[in-house]
Amino acid sequence: MTTMTAAEASRNFSAVLDRAEHGETITIVRHGRTVATVSPAPKKTGRDLRLALEKAAIPPPDDEFEADIAAALSFVSSDVRDPWAES
C-alpha cells in the first residue's frame, strides 16, 4: 500500500486513479492523519446482479416480457434531428 500527502494526491490525481485502476491501494494523509483511501473499485458480476435482484424481490421477466419490450420500442422514433442545424 502506498501513502501520499493530500497535496501530492491533488497534484497527481490522474496518476492516483491509474494506480488504483491497476490494483493498488493509496492512503492519503493530511498533517500525519489518514483522511482517505483510494482503492480499486470492486468488480461486479452477473452473480452480484442476481443477488441484488433477489434481495429486492424483483420477479424474473414473465412470458410477455419480449412482447412488452417490442411494444415499447414501437413508440421510439428513429428520426434524429440536429438541434444545432438552425443555429
Q: What is the pLDDT of residues 25-81, one digit of tens each?
A: 999 999 999 999 999 998 888 888 888 888 888 777 888 998 999 899 888 877 777
Q: What is the pLDDT of residue 10?
A: 96
In a domain, 44, yes or no: no
CB 13 within 8 A of CB 28: no
Average pLDDT over residues 3-14: 96
Domain containing residue 16: 2-38
Name which residue leads in pLDDT, 59 or 8. 8
In angstroms, the CA 78 to CA 68 distance is 19
Number of domains forming the structure of the chain: 1
Please, which pLDDT band fits residue 22 given cuts at 50, 70 and 90? Answer: very high
Residues 6+ apart with CB under 8 A from 19: 2, 26
Residue 33 belongs to domain with CATH number? 3.40.1620
